[in-house]
Amino acid sequence: MAKKGGLGKGLNALFEENQAIETAPVHVRLSEIEPNKNQPRKNFDQDAIDDLAESIRQYGLLQPLVVRPIATGYQLVAGERRWRACRIAGLTEVPVTIRELTDAETAEIALVENLQREDLNPVEEAAGYQALMDEFSLTQEDVAERVGRSRSAVANAVRLLGLPKEILTMIESGKISAGHGRALLAFKNKDEQLKAARIASFGANVREIERLAKKTDVPTKVEKLTPPTTQPYFREVELALQERLGRPVKVSMKNGKGRLEIEFYNNDDLKNLALKFE
């Protein structure tokens, strides 16, 4: 899979930049490894992990886990999905690469690993940025530089955390997009945000929600709205474009018309996006 656009450093470069001391892969007991409690990814696809576990049973773990030494053994730095699959597969020992890393370096690498693999939903991504700022006294500019994003991209992501929990749950589950979430921030109170979020979940696009935010009253009835048409093919196209463009993409169909939504973060980002189509 191609690296996600904007994350140009890569994990290897991050390891080198952080002056991590790398050792050759060794085998350690799986019971000696504990997960990173600050892992930014909170939701894991259990079916995908089960499939990976079956592959590990047949072929073994092909890529070592990355860990750091701690007082009780080792802590995962990268590879929690593989670590979970190894436990299901019944492995007692696994190959690991041991690196000497600080708490800040561990948190940074865990976040970048997930961003590069597009494993985070928008809320997890925002929470990851916020955690770096809170725990290690970083600014948005600092975080942007560390993870290879623009400052505006980090700022727009973190803004989502100002939404009510109910709406964050809708974004996490994919009922509405991060773009919808940012549009909902313009409503004057939580009740109106929740009403508008429900309208968005019934198929209103981001522009419609933005226009709704400018009205005095938000309608309470949404029964007449037609839910968007969803097709497995749409999801496949979304994934292909996301990998190609390195940004969230949404394909939808409503009232016989299709819509393709591509996020961008500033003028330079839009210019770079346009160049991809030349």
261 is catalytic: no
The half-sphere exposure of 116 on its side-chain side, counting CA atoms within 13 A, is 21
Amino acid at 124: E
Torsion angles phi and psi, residue 187, rounded to 5 = -75, 150
b/e sequence 243-267, b meaning 16+ C-beta within 10 Å: eebbbbbbbbebeeeeeeeebbbee
- Surface-to-core class of residue 274, CB atoms within 10 Å of its CB (0-12 exposed, 13-18 middle, 19+ buried): exposed
Dihedral angle, C-alpha 227, 233, 239, 243, nearest 10 °: -140
Closest C-alpha to 240, from 265, 270, 259, 260: 260
Distance between first and last Cα of the chain: 22
Instruction: Tell me which of 80, 113, 124, 263 is the catalytic residue.
Output: 80
Residues with catalytic roles: 80
